[in-house]
Amino acid sequence: MSWCTIESDPGVFTELIQQMQVKGVQVEELYSLDLDSLRSLWPVYGLIFLFKWRPGEKDDRLVIKDPNPNLFFASQVINNACATQAILSILMNCPDIDIGPELSKLKEFTKNFPPELKGLAINNSDAIRAAHNSFARPEPFVPEEQKAAAKDDDVYHFISYIPVDGVLYELDGLKEGPISLGQCPAGQGEMEWLRMVQPVIQERIEKYAKSEIRFNLMAVIKNRKEMYTAELKELQRKRERILQQLQQLATLQSDKTNFEALNKQLTEVNAGIEGATEKILMEEEKFKKWRTENIRRKHNYIPFLFNFLKLLAEKKQLKPLIEKAKQKSSSS
């Protein structure tokens, strides 16, 4: 069975990750490479970059033929699966992510495999393929497996950027191995690799800027709602402690200065609770929107369109509409 093409969209990628039984992760689209934008999404597990692929383009950078054994790198042996493979390149290389039973078994099974066999193992994974193909769009005339990119078709490719064991890597399944982008200096926090990857991605964008504007950059990050929920619970516990202290001070008729300081803290905590609650609601609304969009992506509208056209034909309205469209097309 072939693999369908899927849309480069954070809602699609987030649901795809969830269907692979990965927990606590979501994908967000980046519109800027500035550190403030990246910092607002911290912790960032990895970046996925989409660009227009150009066959025969030279890349003189050194490819690592014998990579770090802790680095999961798979060759792309599947048509149309580069988006899923780019996602897997991040999920399989981040120890902080709960990748679930299916991907854990795959990672353990393939740990001593060369990149080509890792790619074949992904291809043979029914669970991964089913999750990927759940976004297949109905094709009324040409089955997906019979479609092939023509010479003049635009072909897009996904690559991943991720730090592993103190080294920043570019992972591209079409290359023979990973590319090291340098050591991530120790002691400078998890933002350092994002500072390092900025000029790399910017250079690639500028390289194509004169002829191509269709780029897409997405970050695989920790689930925001889970983070804000944990933050909310901690603030609620802090409020309870402050209220207890205020009650004790009122009973003891203690120093007024302490009472005012605690009231100030309480005001700040209440504001924090309000902010965290608002952020949780925003995340819930965003995920609801993503679910609705994904349902529409997957829905088969063809029977509806077929019956609608049939109804127009029965009412003698189809042919006039076709003629009107032809006239409009020829005049423009």
Q: Which of 4, 132, 157, 299 is catalytic?
A: 157
Q: Check if 94 is active-site.
A: no
Mark whether 82 is an active-site residue: yes
Contact call for residues 300 and 140 (beta carbons, < 8 A): no
**Direct distance between the N- and C-terminal alpha carbons of the chain, in angstroms, rounded to an integer:** 43
Give the angle subtended at the CA of 255 by the CAs of 249 and 257, to the nearest 5°.
105
Helix ranges (H only) for 112-255 are 115-123, 126-133, 192-208, 224-252
Contact 26, 227 (CB under 8 A): no
Closest CA to 200 of 228, 180, 221, 227: 180
The Cα–Cα gap between 215 and 226 comes to: 29
Find the catalytic residue in 82, 94, 132, 184: 82
227 token code pair: 């983070």
* Residues involved in catalysis: 82, 157
